Amino acid sequence: MASTDKPAVVSESAPKSEAGPPEAEAVAAPTKFAFNYSLVDVALRILLFAAALSSVVVMVTSKQTEVVPVPGLPGVMLPFQAKFNHSPALIYFVAALSVTGLYSIITTLASLSVVLKPVYSKAFLLAFAFLDVVFVGIVASATGAAGGVAYIGLKGNSHVRWNKICNVYDKFCRYNASSIALALFAAVLLVLLSMMSTFTLYKKIRD
Amino acid sequence: MASTDKPAVVSESAPKSEAGPPEAEAVAAPTKFAFNYSLVDVALRILLFAAALSSVVVMVTSKQTEVVPVPGLPGVMLPFQAKFNHSPALIYFVAALSVTGLYSIITTLASLSVVLKPVYSKAFLLAFAFLDVVFVGIVASATGAAGGVAYIGLKGNSHVRWNKICNVYDKFCRYNASSIALALFAAVLLVLLSMMSTFTLYKKIRD
């Protein structure tokens, strides 16, 4: 039934294009096969969720126990653990990235609903552009805070006699660095998502 | 002259509203006396410049010299200086806020040009929305990095034996805290500016 219907549709549209203005056809054609921003939006948000989740998991699993000399007692060695929750900056980092992961789940579902039913797409785009900017701020500040503290751990600071710890807690530092790199990637993704929402709004004005 | 002109305008508009459809008048009236987003944009960008500049000035002038005991030599006291450029995080903070100050000057001029000649306003709004998001990321990460390091200076970290320094360098810490608060204000301003650019684009679709 479907195969017999198709030629009828083609023959119906053929006289229409002859009758109608050819400019209207030329304009309608590229919008039909246009780049689908909503699908890219969904894909980027899933990637954002993956980045935020793996960043949190790597940071939380970074704990390492090493036998180190006890200060004040020469010759005495005891095991000490390095954990992310020993530093307020890293706790903030985990909290911020967890919230971003939750946000990415909610907005992925919202973005999927736009793909399936593009009625409220403008209102959704505006909401995405607003919220994404707020989350750019949250993720960037968390990355900055964790990066600043981790850099002291890596290099130390001789001026205030903060000794480096990455020569002892090597695994802890490697995990932290990977986690911060993933958070930086998440921040870049959020910037791109916010730009794309704004650009799609801009395109809707010009069309 | 102005007082005699006013009643004439009122009497002129009175017959117009009787002749024209009342719905069209009601729609046209709010757009005529609408909230001028371009002027608010200029004002917020000037405020952003003030915040960024004062943040950099306060951070750079935060140096303090105190006589402290020399480690390893008991009884010996020497003057030591605390300066922002002893910490890589604070150097990044000053660089990021300086760039933001420069950016705010350029965009204030661009925004003023939109107020005076609103021909390219949509392209400018798109450019502002794009760049503001990038600067939200830059300022937020700088605030996070400086805040994370300053918090260690304030409270120390007993787990890795990083001693606090704010009990000695009190002025340095007060200046740092003020500078970070100003940078946080600048980040919030940038979020608002980005949201306003996007919202103005959204309004232009609906009009």
Give the total residue count for chain A: 207
Q: From chain A, pick out residues whose CB is under 8 angstroms from the CB of B133.
A: 132-133, 136, 191, 194-195
Give the burial class of A101: count Cβ atoms within 10 A of its Cβ; 0-12 exposed, 13-18 middle, 19 or more buried: buried
User: Domain for residue B193, yes or no?
Assistant: yes
CA distance B179 to B54: 8
Nearest to B39 by CA among B111, B99, B105: B111
For residue B76, what are its two tokens?
Answer: 């010996």
- What percent of chain B clears pLDDT 70, i.e. is strictly above it? 82
Residue B26 lies in a domain: no
Contact B141 A138 (CB under 8 A): no
- Split at pLDDT 50, 70, 90, the class of B17 is very low
**Which residue, among A69, A82, A84, A57, has the nearest Cα to A169 in the 3D structure?**
A82
Q: Which of A146, A164, A81 is nearest to B159 (CA)?
A: A81
Please give the pLDDT value at position B35.
Answer: 66
Would you mind telling me the total number of residues written for chain B in this entry? 207
Residue-number span of the structural domain to which B93 is assigned: 40-69+87-115+134-207
B76 falls within a domain: no
Does the residue B200 lie in any domain? yes
User: Does residue A102 belong to any structural domain of this protein?
Assistant: no
Give the pairing of strands A77-82 and B64-69.
Answer: unpaired
Q: Would residue B93 count as lying in a domain? A: yes
Q: Amino acid identity, residue B40?
A: V
Predicted TM-score (pTM) of the model is: 0.80
Residue B194: inside a domain: yes
Share of chain A above pLDDT 90, in %: 48
Contact between B125 and B164 (Cβ < 8 Å): no
CB atoms within 10 A of CB A49: 20
Q: Is B64 domain-assigned?
A: yes
- Asked if pLDDT for residue A29 goes beyond 90, the answer is no
Does the pLDDT value for residue B128 go beyond 90? no
**Chain B nearest C-alpha distance from A140 (Å):** 5
Q: How many domains does chain A have?
A: 1
Q: Stretch A190-203: mean pLDDT, rounded?
A: 89
Closest CB to A198: pick one of B82, B130, B152.
B130
CB-CB under 8 Å, A161 with B160: no
DSSP B86: G
- The backbone torsions φ and ψ at residue A167, rounded to the nearest 5 degrees and listed phi first, read -70, -25
Contacts of A198 in chain B (CB under 8 A): 126, 129-130, 197-198, 201
pLDDT by residue (tens digit) across A180-192? Answer: 999 999 999 999 9
* Angle formed at CA A96 by CA A90 and CA A97, multiple of 5 degrees: 90
Percent share of chain B, pLDDT over 90: 47
The pLDDT of residue A125: 83
